[in-house]
Amino acid sequence: MSGSFVLMILILASSIPVIAVYIWFRIAKYEITLIRFLLVLLIGAAAFFPALVLQDFLNISFSAGGRWPLFYQFFIRIALTEELSRLLMLTIFFLISGLITKTNPVKPEDDSSESCNFNTLKKGTAIGLIAGLGFSILESARYAAYQMDISIVLLRIFTAALHGACGSRIGAAAVLFRTNPIQALLKIITATAIHGIYNFMVIIPGLPSIAAILIAVSAFFTAVIAIRGGWTDQPKTLDKTADNQ
């Protein structure tokens, strides 16, 4: 089977969650244009490159076996570097777009400002979800270059969902850092833990691999629930959204 065909199939497989999310956003009438959606995908794909640099820098050989080398490989060298790279690119994007500046502390009596804060957190979560999916598409292209195996196509669909789920948490962390750094740090730790557990379990054949898929799916739908309800820049609509949570 030709490498170009495998590359195309893997990218298409990783694009299935992207297409599903975009259709969902259109049906729910979320305020994100196709151009911005594609731009965020590009931002997520760009996060792949600083992750590669960090992973090469942290490529350490261990003379002895045991649990630590596995923990280091799956949780630190892979999961943590990828989540930090996403955090870097999303923070830059949010600063340029002005999203982070909308998360300034607000007075309790200022209901409209509180609604805007709630709105901004949802936007950060949704944009992080899209960026994670963009990261996965480029990662799939790398897999095709080094591993010409059509059998991983189905797995890449769930891996894309995993990246989206972790990206949603990183997006939320990026907009929370100024107002709630502890919660932001917890979201980064959670994203890294989910990512690391998935990486570890997916290499084990049999039941652990099925469990890894369940982790990816459940994490993805948790992100969907966090975003669900939509957003708008109109405080009245947000008040209704907040009341329904």
Cβ proximity of 81 and 51 under 8 Å: yes
Give the CA dihedral 103, 106, 110, 111, nearest 10 degrees: 40
The C-alpha R_g of the chain, in whole angstroms, comes to 18
Q: How many domains does the chain have?
A: 1
The token duo for 11 is 């990218």
- Residue 164, domain extent: 3-243
pLDDT of residue 156: 81
pLDDT of residue 209: 78
Question: Is 231 in a helix, a strand, or coil?
Answer: coil
With both helix axes pointing from N to C terminus, report the angle between 207-227 and 153-176 in degrees, rounded to the nearest 10. Answer: 40
DSSP-derived secondary structure letter, 205 = T
Cβ proximity of 205 and 212 under 8 Å: no
pLDDT of residue 241: 40
In tens digits, what is the pLDDT along the chain, a chain of 245 residues?
555 776 777 778 778 899 999 999 999 888 788 999 999 999 999 999 999 999 999 998 877 667 788 899 999 999 999 999 999 999 999 998 887 665 444 443 444 444 445 588 899 999 999 999 999 988 887 776 666 565 666 788 889 999 999 999 999 999 999 889 999 999 999 999 999 999 998 887 766 678 888 999 999 999 999 998 656 544 433 334 434 43
Q: What count of Cα atoms within 13 Å lies in the side-chain half-sphere of residue 166?
A: 36
State the Cα–Cα distance between residues 149 and 124, nearest whole angstrom. Answer: 35
pLDDT of residue 164: 96
By C-alpha distance, which of 172, 189, 203, 204 is closest to 94?
Answer: 172
Q: Is 37 exposed, middle or buried (0-12, 13-18, 19+ CB in 10 A)?
A: buried
State the Cα–Cα distance between residues 195 and 188, nearest whole angstrom. Answer: 11
pLDDT of residue 12: 81
Supply the pTM of this predicted model.
Answer: 0.83
